[in-house]
């Protein structure tokens, strides 16, 4: 499934995805998945880069620490 397919889900599958998204216990898993996706996208843009989830995580941490990225206070759901 790709991102565009999310709107094609039937009502039950869409509700299941919303529940999964609202479950804070899945945040770590989703974060790790996002790191992998970002690393792979970076490699697609520049094939000389080796996909590396840890470097992506550390880069995100550094940008937050340096104030380059500001995150609004977390609300009950991401969406």
Question: Would 40 be classed as within a structural domain?
Answer: yes
Which pLDDT score is estimated for 62? 92
Say if 18 falls within a structural domain: no
- 63: in domain: yes
In this prediction, residue 47 carries a pLDDT of 85
- Residue 5 domain-assigned (yes or no): no
Task: Centre a 10 Å sphere on the Cβ of residue 68 and count the other Cβ atoms it contains.
Answer: 9
Q: 10 in a domain, yes or no?
A: no
Question: What is the span of the domain harbouring residue 60?
Answer: 28-70
* Cβ(41)–Cβ(62) below 8 Å: no
In a domain, residue 61? The reply is yes
| The pLDDT value given to residue 8 | 86
Q: Does 47 map to a domain?
A: yes
Are the C-beta atoms of residues 9 and 18 closer than 8 Å to each other?
A: no
Q: What are the respective helix, strand and coil percentages of the chain, to the nearest 5?
A: 65, 0, 35
Establish if 16 belongs to a structural domain. no
Domain total for the chain? Answer: 1
- CA 47, CA 51: separation in Å to the nearest integer? 9
pLDDT tens per residue across all 79 residues of the chain: 555 588 888 899 999 999 999 999 999 999 999 999 999 898 889 888 888 888 999 999 999 899 998 877 766 555 5
Phi first, then psi: what are they for 49, rounded to 5°?
A: -80, 135
């Amino acid at each position: 499934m790709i991102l565009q397919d999310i709107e094609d889900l039937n009502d039950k599958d869409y509700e299941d995805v919303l529940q999964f998204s609202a479950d804070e216990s899945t945040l770590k898993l989703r974060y790790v998945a996002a790191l992998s996706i970002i690393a792979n996208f970076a490699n697609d843009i520049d094939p000389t880069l080796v996909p590396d989830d840890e470097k992506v995580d550390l880069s995100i941490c550094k940008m937050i620490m340096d104030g380059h990225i500001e995150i609004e206070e977390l609300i009950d759901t991401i969406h």
